[in-house]
Amino acid sequence: MDDYIKRSSAIELLIEIPSSMSVCLTKEECLGKSMMKDFAIQKIRNAPAADVRENVHGKWELECEPDGTPYCLHCSVCDQEWARIDIGSFYDYCPYCGADMRGESDG
């Protein structure tokens, strides 16, 4: 599985590298190391962004008739009704908004 990081966090890590970590024998060597750091920062800035989205959690909520008879389920995130009670079991994800229904709610 790929790991995704924030571009700004990667750049901050490079910026925070102290100059004292670089042992230079000549002024040109130090300049070259500084240019490599700037080059790395620029490459990260220009790298294509990954197509990811935040994982949203929700839960299935039961709706009942005024007399208390259950009749459908709906998503706590998008509020879409997805199934009548007699159709089947709960899905792990909402088919409308993609919310993950397997864990804790974000609300």
Tens digits of residue pLDDT in 61-82: 888 889 988 888 889 999 998 7
88 and 60 share one domain: yes
Rounded to an integer, the average pLDDT of 20-48 is 79
Number of separate domains in the chain:
2
Buried b (16+ CB within 10 A) or exposed e, 53-69: eeeeebbbeeeeeeeee
In a domain, 1, yes or no: no
- Sheet holding 70-75: strands in order across? 60-64, 70-75, 81-84
Name the pTM for this structure: 0.48
59 and 97 share one domain: yes
34 and 61 share one domain: no
Structural domain for 13, as ranges? 7-46
In a domain, 73, yes or no: yes
Residue 89 has pLDDT above 80, yes or no: no
The more confident residue out of 36 and 103 is 36
Residue 107 has pLDDT above 50, yes or no: no
